[in-house]
Chains A and B, each alone.
Chain A
Amino acid sequence: MPPKVLLNKCDGCKAEHEPLCEQVCPGNLMTLGSEGKAICRDLRDCWDCMSCTKVCPQGAIETRMPYQIGYHPAKLIPMMGTNRITWTCVDINGKVERFIVKNRNEEEDED
C-alpha cells in the first residue's frame, strides 16, 4: 500500500526543488505536487520500504499497511531519534507493541 502524505503537516520541505522523500525514494515515486506538497505519483509501484516515512523531517508521511499483513487499525510508525528509531506496531486487534532499533554505534549506557 502506498504512502499517505498528511497535507497539514507536509511543508514540501519548504517548497524545495526536490523534497527529501523524492531524494530518498528508491523507485523515484515521490515528487512535489502543484500545491507544494509531496505526492506519490504511482501508487501501485510502491513496495513499502518506508524510506520516505523515516526521512520526512515533519513526520508527515504515513505508510498504510498492505491488506495481506493487516486491516485498518494496524499501523507501523517509526519515530526518529539521533541514533535510534523507535517503532510502534499496532496489530489488527489494536494491540500495541514498541521496540527500539539502534541505527548508529554509540557508547553503551552503564551505571
Chain B
Amino acid sequence: MPSSVEVLICRCQGSVSGEFEIERLTKQLEKNKRIAKVHVLDHLCSQEGMKKLNQLVQVGEDSGLVVAACAAESLQNLLESQLPALNIKSQLCSIVPVREWVFWPSPRPRATEAAADMIKMAVARVRQVKDVGNWSAKGAVVNRLRCDKCKRCMEECPVDAYSLDEEGYPCANPELCQRCGICVGSCPLQVISLPDLRIEELSSEIRALKGDGSEEPTVLAFCCEPLTYPALQEKVALGMQLPQNMRIIKVPCMGAVNTALISDALSAGVDSVVLLGCEHGPCQQRRGDQLTKRRLENLKETLERMMFEVERVNYIGWPEASSDGMDVDRNICNGCLTCKEVCPYNAVIPEVKAVRGAKRIIAERDPLACRACGICTVACPSGACQTYALTEAQLLDSLDAACSDTVNPVPNEMVVLCNCQGKLSEVINFQSMKDNLDKQGFRHVIEVSQLCTPDAWRNLAKQGSHAALRAVVGACGKSFFGSRFEAFQKEIGLDLSYCAFADLLEKAILWPESPTLATDAATWEILTQSALLRENKKVNGVRDLELAGVEQYFSSYITTLRDLGPNPFKEG
C-alpha cells in the first residue's frame, strides 16, 4: 500500500477553472489527512505540462498519484510513459476524468464539491492498492491463503481458463484468461484479483462516496469497459445530463461486480446502485449479463426479506449500437452466396428477387445480425457487398490522395484547424500546413484556438457564412472529441455526414521532436479524410432517439429515488 498519495489537478488553461473554483477545491482536498500534497498545473497534455509535472511531483518509491484532468485516451498513454521517470508505479496512478463526469454533464451548482468527492474516491482506492502477486500476472490470480476450493470460479468462467493445480486450488491459465473478471464477481470469499482490479480497492472507493453535500440521491453506477463506459462518455460529450450525484466506476464486465460490493455500497449509505451493462451484447459469449442478472435477483430477494427497498439496486441493459449495415447491390450480386459462407454472424439471408425482369437469388442481410464487419466485402467475387460506413470507392480515393498528393476538393470544402491555444503549434507547423493545403486547392482553411468551446463554433458559423457543405476538422482527441464536436456542429447547422475528423494531437505525440514529420502526417490525414468524404453514404439519425431514451430513464429513476427518501443506512 502506498505510504502517501498526492493529487494533481490540471486546469486546462482556464477552461476548467471556470467551472470549478480551483482554490476552494485545493483547500478542501488539503484538509483531507489522506492526501499528502495538492498540485495544480496547466495543460498536462502539452510538452510544457509534462516538464512541469516532472518538476512538481517528486515522490518516493511507494507513493500514489491521483490526476484530476480529462481522460482522453491519449492523456492516459502520455502519462503512462512518464510514470517510470517519476518513480511511480502505474498501478499506483489513477486518472479521474473530472471533465467528462463533472464538468460536461453540468450546469451544476456544486461542481467543485462533486469533483472533490470524485478525487477523494480515487484517493481511497489508490491507498488500498497492494501487490498480491497480481501486478506481474497476466490473468486472474487466486489468493490461496483464503481460497476454500469451492470451484465456483471454474463453473462460471466463460472461457474455461481454470484448472486445478496439484494441491487442488483453482488456477487460471494466463493464456486463456480474458481478464473479464467474472470469476472476481463470482467468488463468495472475494479472493480473486485481476492485474488491475482488487475487490478491496473497489470496496474502499465505494465507501468513500459521500455525494456533493446536497439533498440529491447518490447513485453508484458500474460501467463495463468495452461497451457502456465509452458509450456513456460519448452521450455525455453529446450533451446528456447525468444525475447530479452519480459516480461512475469502470469494471471489465458487469460479471466482475461482486454482490458483496453492492452490499457494501448500500450499507455505506449510497442511495442506489446501478449496473450499466449490455443486453445480450456482442460479448454475449461471456454470459456476463445473464450471470449478473441472476446474482442480482438473488440479492433482491434477500433485500426484500430484509424489508429494504429493492428499487435501489438495478440492472440497466444498454441498447446495442445499431451498425450502419451492408449495402448489397442487386444489379451486381450473382447469388453465389460466398458471403453466407464467410459471415461470422449468420447474417446472410438468400432471397429470390426480381431483377431486371428475371428472378435471381440475392444475398440480403439481416439488419439485426449484421455488424458491418466487412469480411464479406473482401470475399465477394463480384464486388456487390459494400459497407455503408466505408465503401471501396472511398478507400481508393483516400489511397489516391495519400499516394499522389492530388486532391481535388469540392468548392466550398472547409478545413478547420485547432491549435489548442498554441499547444499544438509548438510541434505542428500550422503555416506550412495551410500553405500546403492551399496548393491542393483548399480555399477555406481556418485556424482557431479553442474548438472545444461552443463560442468557437459560433464564431466559425459567422466566418463560414459561405455555407460550407463539407468540412474536415483537425483538432486533438480522436473519435471521442469528435463526438463532442458533433453536438456543436448540429448547433450551427452543419450536416454531420459531411464532416470528417483528423487527429492532430496524436501526431504531436508521435513525433514530438520532429515538427516536419508531424506536420506532414497531419496534412496527409486531412487530405485522406477529405477524400473519404466524397463518396459518403453514411446514415445518421438513430443517435438522438437513443440519447433521449437513456436520459429519460435516468431522470425518472431519480424521481423514484427521491420518493423513496434517503438510504436508511445513511449516517445522521
* Partner pick for A82 among B208, B210, B260, CB 8 A cutoff: B260
* Partner pick for A100 among B32, B150, B155, B267, CB 8 A cutoff: B267
**Complex interface bits, B291-334 against A, C-beta within 8 A gives 1, otherwise 0:** 00000001101110111100000000000000000000000000
Interface contact B188-A81, CB-CB below 8 Å = no
Check if B207 is an interface residue, CB within 8 A of chain A.
Answer: yes
Within the complex, the shortest CB–CB distance from A25 to chain B, in Å, comes to: 14
Check if A55 is an interface residue, CB within 8 A of chain B.
Answer: yes
Interface contact A75-B152, CB-CB below 8 Å = no
For window 127-162 of B, CB contacts with A under 8 Å fall at: 127-128, 148, 150-152, 155-156
The chain A residue with its CB closest to the CB of B305 is A77
Check if B569 is an interface residue, CB within 8 A of chain A.
Answer: yes
Within the complex, the shortest CB–CB distance from B278 to chain A, in Å, comes to: 23
Interface contact A13-B150, CB-CB below 8 Å = yes
The chain B residue with its CB closest to the CB of A58 is B298
For window 13-46 of A, CB contacts with B under 8 Å fall at: 13-14, 16, 20, 23
Interface contact B267-A79, CB-CB below 8 Å = yes
A20 to B187, CA, bound (A): 12
Within the complex, the shortest CB–CB distance from B571 to chain A, in Å, comes to: 10
With A9-B298, A23-B148 known as contacts, the answer to whether A86 contacts B307 (CB < 8 A) is no
Contacts of A111 in B (CB 8 A): 31-32, 210
With A98-B568, A110-B34 known as contacts, the answer to whether A82 contacts B151 (CB < 8 A) is no
* Partner pick for B188 among A55, A79, A86, A107, CB 8 A cutoff: A55
With A81-B267, A98-B569, A107-B204 known as contacts, the answer to whether A6 contacts B301 (CB < 8 A) is yes
* Partner pick for A62 among B148, B200, B303, B305, CB 8 A cutoff: B305
The chain B residue with its CB closest to the CB of A8 is B301
Interface contact A16-B150, CB-CB below 8 Å = yes
A57 to B207, CA, bound (A): 22
The chain A residue with its CB closest to the CB of B208 is A109
Check if A83 is an interface residue, CB within 8 A of chain B.
Answer: yes
- Category for how many chain B residues contact A: 35 or more
A19 to B258, CA, bound (A): 19
Interface contact B302-A79, CB-CB below 8 Å = yes
Within the complex, the shortest CB–CB distance from B148 to chain A, in Å, comes to: 7
Check if A72 is an interface residue, CB within 8 A of chain B.
Answer: no
**Complex interface bits, B346-366 against A, C-beta within 8 A gives 1, otherwise 0:** 000000000000000000000
A60 to B259, CA, bound (A): 14
Contacts of A62 in B (CB 8 A): 305
Check if B377 is an interface residue, CB within 8 A of chain A.
Answer: no
Interface of chain B, helix or strand or loop or mixed? helix
With A14-B152, A16-B151, A88-B306 known as contacts, the answer to whether A57 contacts B188 (CB < 8 A) is yes
With A6-B301, A59-B298 known as contacts, the answer to whether A81 contacts B260 (CB < 8 A) is yes
* Partner pick for B307 among A56, A57, A88, CB 8 A cutoff: A88
Contacts of A20 in B (CB 8 A): 148, 150, 188
Contacts of B569 in A (CB 8 A): 86, 98, 100
Contacts of B31 in A (CB 8 A): 111
* Partner pick for B305 among A13, A55, A75, CB 8 A cutoff: A75
A9 to B296, CA, bound (A): 11
**Complex interface bits, A37-73 against B, C-beta within 8 A gives 1, otherwise 0:** 0000000000000000001111110100000000000
Check if B290 is an interface residue, CB within 8 A of chain A.
Answer: no
Check if B33 is an interface residue, CB within 8 A of chain A.
Answer: yes
- Category for how many chain A residues contact B: 20 to 34
Check if A5 is an interface residue, CB within 8 A of chain B.
Answer: no
The chain A residue with its CB closest to the CB of B261 is A82
Within the complex, the shortest CB–CB distance from B207 to chain A, in Å, comes to: 6
The chain A residue with its CB closest to the CB of B206 is A82
Check if A74 is an interface residue, CB within 8 A of chain B.
Answer: no
Interface contact B267-A107, CB-CB below 8 Å = no
With A58-B298, A59-B298, A86-B266 known as contacts, the answer to whether A80 contacts B148 (CB < 8 A) is no
- Output the residue of B148, B207, B298 with the most chain A CB within 10 A: B298
Check if B4 is an interface residue, CB within 8 A of chain A.
Answer: no
Interface contact A79-B155, CB-CB below 8 Å = no
Check if B203 is an interface residue, CB within 8 A of chain A.
Answer: yes
The chain B residue with its CB closest to the CB of A24 is B148
Within the complex, the shortest CB–CB distance from B157 to chain A, in Å, comes to: 11
Interface contact B127-A107, CB-CB below 8 Å = yes
Within the complex, the shortest CB–CB distance from B344 to chain A, in Å, comes to: 31
Check if B173 is an interface residue, CB within 8 A of chain A.
Answer: no
Check if B530 is an interface residue, CB within 8 A of chain A.
Answer: no
For window 183-211 of B, CB contacts with A under 8 Å fall at: 186, 188, 190, 199-200, 203-204, 207-208, 210
A84 to B264, CA, bound (A): 7
A88 to B190, CA, bound (A): 22
Interface contact B298-A80, CB-CB below 8 Å = no
Beyond the given A13-B152, A77-B306, please list 13 additional residue pairs across the A-B interface where CB-CB is below 8 A.
Answer: A16-B152, A20-B148, A57-B152, A77-B302, A81-B261, A82-B203, A83-B200, A84-B264, A86-B267, A106-B204, A107-B204, A109-B207, A110-B33
Give me 20 A-to-B residue pairs in the complex whose CB atoms sit less than 8 angstroms apart, sorted by A's number. Answer: A6-B301, A9-B298, A14-B152, A14-B156, A16-B152, A57-B150, A57-B152, A57-B186, A58-B298, A59-B301, A80-B263, A81-B263, A82-B199, A82-B200, A83-B200, A84-B264, A86-B266, A109-B207, A110-B33, A110-B34
